[in-house]
Every structure is written in structure tokens, then in C-alpha cells.
Amino acid sequence: MKIAITELRQKIEKTLNKNLNNDQARVVADYLLWAEMSGIKTQGIVKMIGSEPIQDIQPSGEIKVERDTKLSQLINAGANAALLVSNIATDTAISKAKEHGFSIVGVHNTFSSNGALSYYTEQIAKQDLIGIAASRSPGSTAPFDSIDPLFGTNPISFSFPTDNQPIVFDMATSAMTFYGLILANAKGESIPENMAIDHEGNPTTSPGIAMDGALLPFDRSYKSSGLGMVVEILTGPLTSAAYCDTALTGEWGSTFMAIDPNLLVDIAQFKSQCSDLVQKIKSSRKKHGVSEIRLPGEKSHNLYLECVKSGQVEVDEVILKQLGYV
């Protein structure tokens, strides 16, 4: 059902106030509204229901800066919500890169997932910086030739400023998201073929059996497996988080980087060429049956703009009812 964005924001912030102060609640609400408005429903306010709703997170410690240099910061999240701490990390990455040209911020010991990484890299690109973000989660994906779930679904995102909306690319290095498994399992549906294997390495289309087995890397070969490994290293060993964590007990980790294009070329030229590149792709000849070539993130951004214009967002009524919002 449609709900007014201002009304939804008030309700979300009030719910989040359970364990977060007003500023913190606003930061998390910003993300949740962005995800809903962008049509990224699996990473939106669905995070407020289920067995681990984010408003119930009781952090075991403070957010602590464990290392700080001109170009970098390592943050121990103290089991605070990833949605909160990753925003802080993004702001830090932006301010350091604005001043020094580059930054890398590592976060470990967050509670659960950051949501969609494109949210953070978009913020970085809006500040005229190139953004890179990556995250590891507990083991769910088997490396190429292995049948053990050593890697997380390990998303990575890149963003680039243009003269208009930034180019924002975001993908899991697994064939599907772990949330996709949870959702299919809850609905009693099967998953497509060639996405996952059971514990012994046999193909399966059962999401429950896949959760006990492993997802496959997205191209089912060494390339996406290698990319999954790259993310595992950048967000595991590089942030003091866990890695190759099949016991599912280790720390989640994320890394945010920002690069000032001015280090190599003039920012105005860079942005204008990135805009031109978008136009060249969009105006290229289309594959038979394709009506429009969309850049990564374009569809989500259009949905977001529609919501801004109408002041309303479409939200699953079941979720709104569970939260007592309607």
C-alpha cells in the first residue's frame, strides 16, 4: 500500500528510538526510506521485522576507533547496527578523501548487514569522489571447485560522479543473495537451478537445503569466485573481522574507500566524460527485444525520484501491519 513518506519516517524513527537516540534513529531511517523508495525491498524496512529486527539490537559495546591515520580509520563497531556504523564510516571516508585525496575505512564487529552498498557509494560519488565499498558476511558461498561455504555473498560496489546522478554499480559475488534464500524458504518456494548446492555438493533448488549447503559464485567459475575472495580479504583480514567463517560466529566486516579523481585528472573533465560514457552506453544499439539500455542503479534511482515527486512510497501492507503502522 502507499504511505506518505513523512508519516513513515516519523513511525520508523519512533520504533528505532527503542535503542537508538534521535540522531542515530534518523541515520538508520534515512537508509531504510532510501531502500524502500528505491524499490530495494529486500534491504528495506523488512529489516524491522523477523527474528532479528534492527530496533531490537542491543550493542555489546561502544563504537571505537582502533586505528586512525590521515588516510584511514579502523572502527570496531561494538556490535552496533551495521546500518548505523557504516554511515559513520562513509562520512569519515568522505572527509578524509576530501582533505587528502584518498581514504580507506575498515569496520569490523558490526551487527549484521549494511543493506545495499550502493547507498554508501552513492553518497561518496555525490561528493565528487570515486567510491568503492565491500562487505563480508558469514560463510554461505563456495569458492570455485570447493563445496564448503567459505565466502559470504560478498557484495562490492563502485560509484563515479557525473554531471548528473552518479553512476552506482553494486552486486553480490554470489549467484543470489542469502536473503533471497531466506525469502524463498519462508514462502515455501524453490530457487532457480544452478544457484546452489547441498552439503555434499549436489545441485539443489531447495532454499533450506542450500542454506545448509552453499550458494555458487555468480558466474559459477573462477572469475566470480576470485572476486568473492578479493572481497573476503578486503573486508576480513584487512579489517580484523572474520574470514572463511563456516561456523557463522565470526565478525562481519566492511571496507569503504574514496578516491579523489583530481589525483589524476581535472574533476570537471572526469565528470563530463563519465556523463558522456553514460550517454554512449544508453544510445548504443540495443539487443533484439530490449526497449531501453539501463545503467546499473538507474531503475532504482528512477523509482526513488518518483517517490520524491509523489511524497509517497509503496510498502508491503503485511510489514506495515506487523509494525503497527497501519
Binding footprint of a copy of itself on the chain (CB under 8 A): 67, 69-72, 74, 100-102, 104, 106, 130, 142-148, 150, 158, 160, 167, 169, 171, 201, 218-219, 222-224, 226-227, 229-230, 232-234, 236-240, 243-244, 255, 259, 261, 263-265, 269-270, 273-274, 277, 280-281, 284-288, 290, 293-296
Rounded CA separation 287/289 (Å) = 6
Cβ-based nearer residue to a copy of itself, 102 or 179: 102
Find the shortest distance in angstroms from Cβ 187 to a copy of itself. 24
Q: Is 254 helix (H, G, I), strand (E, B) or coil?
A: strand
Find the shortest distance in angstroms from Cβ 240 to a copy of itself. 6
Which helix (H) or strand (E) segment is 73 a member of? strand 72-76
Cβ-based nearer residue to a copy of itself, 74 or 307: 74
Cβ-based nearer residue to a copy of itself, 55 or 255: 255
Sign of CA dihedral 146, 151, 152, 158: negative
Rounded CA separation 130/121 (Å) = 8
Cβ-based nearer residue to a copy of itself, 207 or 297: 297
Find the shortest distance in angstroms from Cβ 227 to a copy of itself. 8
Q: Which three cell numbers stand for residue 280?
A: 554512449
Q: What is the CA radius of gyration of the chain?
A: 20
Q: Is 61 helix (H, G, I), strand (E, B) or coil?
A: coil
Whether the Cβ atoms of residue 43 and residue 115 lie closer than 8 Å to each other: yes
What contacts 240, CB < 8 A, 6 or more positions away?
66, 74, 76, 106, 108, 251, 253
Find the shortest distance in angstroms from Cβ 8 to a copy of itself. 30
By C-alpha distance, which of 126, 132, 130, 19 is closest to 83? 19
Cβ-based nearer residue to a copy of itself, 98 or 100: 100
Q: Which amino acid is at 217?
A: P
Cβ-based nearer residue to a copy of itself, 202 or 310: 202
Find the shortest distance in angstroms from Cβ 254 to a copy of itself. 12
Find the shortest distance in angstroms from Cβ 26 to a copy of itself. 28
